[in-house]
């Protein structure tokens, strides 16, 4: 216990450091319209005033943008994780001509800055006649998200014990059986982590959505937040209320996947032990 005490103290410090800004935002969001930041910052609301959340939700089609982002983020994340898992398994466990060349090309694509790709991505989507459509935006999100997830999942798959896979193959199972029955269940912590990361990246993305989506009704939540800030200027209660609404899906996703991450981590440690 004494050996772990410094670790626990460090975790408490990190937790408090991360929690203080969130509590300050929550307390400010529950104040009646506040055009100045409270000083000293509030950590607990003096009163429960929830009208700010309702006003933020109903302001400037904010709720519509929220559900647009929900649809785009969920669909993009599902496709990213499915394709990344299959491609990572292929690079980790299968042999095919040009395997190393394709993998190095995948790594090279991760080194190209996002802004450098913006023009080429727009021209590609334009030639596919997908500008101002969810399909074009999701296609770009999936294309940009697969490379990094494939790289890290491949490293995780390579660390899994091969004995279980060999037993399945001896019993007549193929690659799909190994992938679906062995690799995916044992990779729950990694897949859960990258699900949160992929969802967060799509949920928070601003530049591509601003470039590819022109119709106001199709805009996503990051654009709505910028418009919201411009509309309400320094009304910090409403701005923080809108920001907390935007953070809510990521928090819920983490809470839903937390138990699976812990169970997966315990299973991984047992196998390696």
Whole-number pLDDT of residue 203: 94
**Of 172, 187, 160, nearest in space to 92 by CA:** 160
pLDDT for 271 equals 46
pTM of the predicted model as reported, rounded to 2 decimal places: 0.83
pLDDT along the chain (273 residues), means of 10: 79 86 83 68 75 85 91 95 92 87 87 84 92 93 90 88 80 82 86 89 92 89 82 76 90 81 50 48
What six digits make up the tokens of 20? 């203080």
The total number of residues shown for the chain amounts to: 273
Instruction: For each of the domains in the chain, give its residue range(s) and CATH number, in order of start.
Output: 69-206+249-272 (1.10.3720.10)
Residues 6+ away with beta carbon under 8 Å from 19: none
Residue 85 phi/psi, 5-degree rounding, is -65, -45
The reported pLDDT for the residue numbered 77 is 95
Q: List the helix and strand counts (H, then E) for the chain.
A: 13, 0
pLDDT of residue 260: 63
Alpha carbons 93 and 157: distance in angstroms, whole number: 8
56 within 8 A of 241, measured Cβ to Cβ? yes
**For residue 168, what pLDDT is reported?**
80
Are the CB atoms for 36 and 234 separated by under 8 Å?
yes
């Amino acid at each position: 216990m004494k050996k772990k005490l410094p670790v626990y103290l460090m975790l408490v410090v990190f937790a408090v450091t991360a929690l203080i800004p969130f509590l300050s935002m929550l307390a400010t969001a529950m104040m009646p319209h506040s055009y100045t930041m409270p000083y000293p910052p509030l950590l607990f609301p003096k009163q429960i005033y929830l009208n700010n959340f309702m006003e933020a939700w109903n302001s400037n089609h904010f709720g519509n943008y929220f559900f647009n982002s929900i649809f785009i983020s969920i669909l993009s994340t599902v496709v990213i994780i499915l394709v990344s898992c299959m491609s990572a398994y292929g690079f980790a466990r299968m042999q095919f001509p040009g395997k190393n060349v394709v993998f190095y090309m995948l790594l090279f694509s991760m080194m190209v800055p996002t802004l450098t790709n913006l023009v080429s991505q727009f021209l590609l989507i334009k030639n596919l006649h997908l500008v101002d459509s969810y399909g074009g935006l999701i296609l770009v999100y999936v294309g940009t998200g697969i490379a990094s997830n494939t790289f890290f999942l491949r490293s995780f798959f390579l660390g899994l014990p091969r004995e279980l896979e060999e037993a399945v193959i001896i019993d007549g199972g193929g690659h799909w059986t190994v992938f679906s029955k062995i690799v995916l269940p044992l990779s729950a912590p990694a897949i859960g982590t990258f699900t949160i990361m992929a969802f967060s990246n799509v949920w928070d993305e601003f530049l591509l959505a601003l470039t590819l989506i022109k119709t106001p009704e199709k805009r996503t939540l990051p654009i709505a937040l910028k418009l919201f800030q411009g509309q309400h200027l320094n009304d910090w209660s409403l701005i923080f209320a809108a920001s907390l609404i935007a953070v809510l899906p990521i928090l819920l996703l983490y809470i839903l996947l937390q138990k699976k991450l812990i169970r997966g981590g315990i299973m991984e440690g047992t196998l390696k032990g």
